[in-house]
Chains A and B, each alone.
Chain A
Amino acid sequence: MQSTPGNNRRWRTIKSAIVSALSFIAAILVVAPLGFVFFHLVRSGAGAVNLSFFTQLPKPVGEAGGGMVNAIVGTAELLGIAALIGVPVGVLGGVYLAEYGSARSNRMLRFIADVLNGVPSIIWGVVVYGLVVLRFKSFSAYAGGLSLGLIMIPLIMRTTEEVLLLVPNGYREAALALGISRWKTIVHIVMKTASKGIVTGILLALARVAGETAPLLFTAFGNRFWNHSLREPIAALPLQIFTYAISPYEDWHRQAWAGALVLIVGIFFINIVVRLLTRNPAFRVL
């Protein structure tokens, strides 16, 4: 069949339109799970989120009601320990990448940090189990916090580096020209200028590890009651959701949905606040 040039042109335009439509559909399909998950979280979870959810301990099987206050507090404690480990190492490491080091060695460190980022979170649980739990013969809040903190290190390192590199060199030069020493320039001028970005990176890293379950399974372990010492097993919201979700009890399923709703609202809240605070695209981290 002989096709005239005009005909051909039309077919090509149609083909282009078809592909455009397909890629639009793909985009819809990619964000669809977000909508479905959120819809079901609200539908199944909202009913069980009430005051007692935030104030009471979990009830034994068969008794209705109860809450997850210990898990919520536990997650907060774990995040606190994680931040104590992840923030100093990550931020200072990021300072080195942005302010010191040769281009070549930094490229290598960056590369390794990115590879480290791809290590499955469950591996961190296994490593911390061998490192801490076996040694001290007990699951503990310390172990759980450590595994989350280690996950945070490469995340914070990379975001800190990026925001520091956004600080114009003129700032550094002006400070050095005034006779201020290098480290004071970095701490008081460069890091101060970029402080919003650094905090953003830290918050996003916290939001990311707040939902991690796998590294806590055999480090923090979970606890049905209050944790009285950081050397004891501790409850965490994601762990509690997991335990309840795979249990055979209807009441617990409801609690799992409620816990999931609370957790996701917290995580989304941090993400949205951070994004509103910093509209600069360089601060956005996945």
Chain B
Amino acid sequence: MNVVTRPSIPGETEQPSLATQMSRPSRFGDRAFEWLTLAMALAVIALVFLVGWQLARGSQLAIAKFGFHFLTTSTWDPVAEQYGALPFIYGTIVSSLIALIIAVPLSIATAVYLTELAPLWVRQPLVSLIEMLAAIPSVILGLWGIFVMIPWLKAHPFPLLKTLFGWTPFFEGPIYGISMLAGGIIIAIMILPIITSVSREILRSVPNLQREAAYALGATRWEVTRIAVLSYAKKGLAGAVILGLGRALGETMAVTMVIGNTPQIKASLFAPGYTLASVIANEFTEATTDLYLQALFEVGLVLFGITILANLIAQVLIKTMAGATTTRAVQ
């Protein structure tokens, strides 16, 4: 036993020292505690496998029956037991792209404002407001979407878009309000905070030396930002955008409430759509037959696959860009 011995004091009895008494149980305690915490940390790996396994097991029948056609056919007809997920894949991708087109410029510009331009006293309050926006539950944003945003969109911006761009296939047809475009806009609001705060962390990790060098060459503020900061942070910002994409793909409640939930593929953004997440939310409890439920599990499997992929890419980009400081914002 490896206990440090101290010189014995005269008169002391030959009892084992306090250190020896404690060492045995505490060693066991040490080992047990380490194993316990390890087991808990490994839970994250177990969870990834659990999710994958559960979704695959739940969709066995559907995978066997439809095979690859599940992803490429567009008939979703529970009565005829025909299930093709293409309209949902299409809806998920299109609504997420609309969201990115709106949210990315706004978020990155805000991040630039927060790190490069804003007066110091503005920064912290603004960051807190953005965090509060992130804290709004999806269902509340959806509620606001149904009763405030949709009527407004229907009354003003949509007719305007129609008169301006009605000749393109993207803005033709009747305006119902609930539409792919409304879904994209609500997702944009949901992903603004995450792209902004991750971009902000990325920009903050750009060394000041970069900025000082550019200023020393006589660059204006915008030139410093563009040349020294943005180009340096390109990769990390791409990570932030893809992370936002990952969130957009899986966004459920708010989208379900405004997108119209119609399994169709229409070029017009004024037409209702459907997403992978919202078909699960809407139809899961109505799935009366085994195959129906299995098909919905398979939709979940597809959704899990693409969001995991997006998150993997995003994390790699963000982590190669900056050290541990940025990981916090990723949550």
- A and B assemble together: yes
Enumerate chain A interface residues (CB-CB to B < 8 A): 12-13, 15-16, 19-20, 22-24, 26-27, 29-31, 33-34, 36-37, 40-41, 44, 88-90, 92-97, 99-101, 109-127, 129-131, 150, 153-155, 157-159, 162, 179, 181-184, 186-187, 207-208, 210-214, 217-218, 221, 238, 241-242, 245-246, 253, 256-257, 260, 263-264, 267-268, 271, 275, 282, 284-286
Q: Which of B132-153 contact A (CB under 8 A)?
A: 132-144, 146-148
Contact with A along B221-263 (1 / 0, CB 8 A): 1110100000000000000000100110111110001000000
Closest beta carbon of chain B to A138's beta carbon, Å: 13
Supply 23 A–B pairs (Cβ within 8 Å), ascending by A: A30-B130, A31-B129, A34-B132, A88-B40, A89-B43, A93-B43, A97-B41, A99-B37, A113-B44, A114-B327, A118-B247, A118-B311, A122-B277, A126-B284, A126-B300, A130-B297, A153-B44, A154-B331, A181-B23, A183-B32, A211-B135, A212-B138, A286-B194
B252–A214 CB distance below 8 A = yes
Q: Given A31-B130, A241-B143, A246-B257, A92–B135 Cβ distance below 8 Å? A: no
Residue in B18, B55, B118, B327 whose beta carbon sits within 8 Å of that of A126 in the complex: B55
Known pairs A117-B330, A126-B280, A179-B19; list 7 more (Cβ under 8 Å). A24-B113, A27-B118, A118-B247, A119-B304, A126-B54, A157-B44, A211-B136
Q: In the complex the two chains form, is A122's CB within 8 Å of B40's CB?
A: no
User: Whose C-beta in chain A lies nearest to the C-beta of B131?
Assistant: A286
Is the CB–CB distance between B109 and A27 below 8 Å?
A: yes
Query: With a CB–CB cut-off of 8 A, which chain B residues contact A12?
Result: 220, 222-223
Query: Which of B45-53, B63-71, B156-164 is the contact stretch?
Result: B45-53
Residue contact A211 to B140, C-beta cutoff 8 Å: yes
Q: Across the interface, do B308 and A263 meet the contact criterion of CB distance under 8 Å?
A: no
Min C-beta distance of B306 to chain A, whole Å: 10
* Contact between A29 and B106, CB atoms less than 8 A apart: yes
Which residue in chain A gives the minimum CB-CB distance to B3?
A179
Q: How far is the CA of A65 from the CA of B30 in the complex (A)?
A: 58
Candidates A89, A212, A284, A286; contact of B137 at CB < 8 Å: A212
Judged by a CB distance under 8 angstroms, whether B212 is at the interface is no
Cross-chain contact B44 with A217 (CB below 8 angstroms): no
Determine whether B281 belongs to the interface, using a CB cutoff of 8 Å to chain A: yes
Chain B minimum-CB-distance residue to A15: B222
> Total interface residues on B, using CB and 8 Å?
102
Instruction: Determine whether the beta carbon of B137 is less than 8 Å from that of A115.
Output: no
Q: How far is the CA of A23 from the CA of B143 in the complex (A)?
A: 29
| Given known A23-B110, A114-B330, A217-B285, contact A181–B144 (CB-CB < 8 A) | no
Which 10 interchain pairs have the tightest Cβ spacing?
A: A120-B250, A211-B137, A181-B26, A26-B109, A118-B311, A183-B33, A96-B37, A16-B222, A16-B220, A92-B40
Tell me which residues across on chain B come within 8 A of A282, comparing CB atoms: 328
A116 touches B44 (CB 8 A): yes
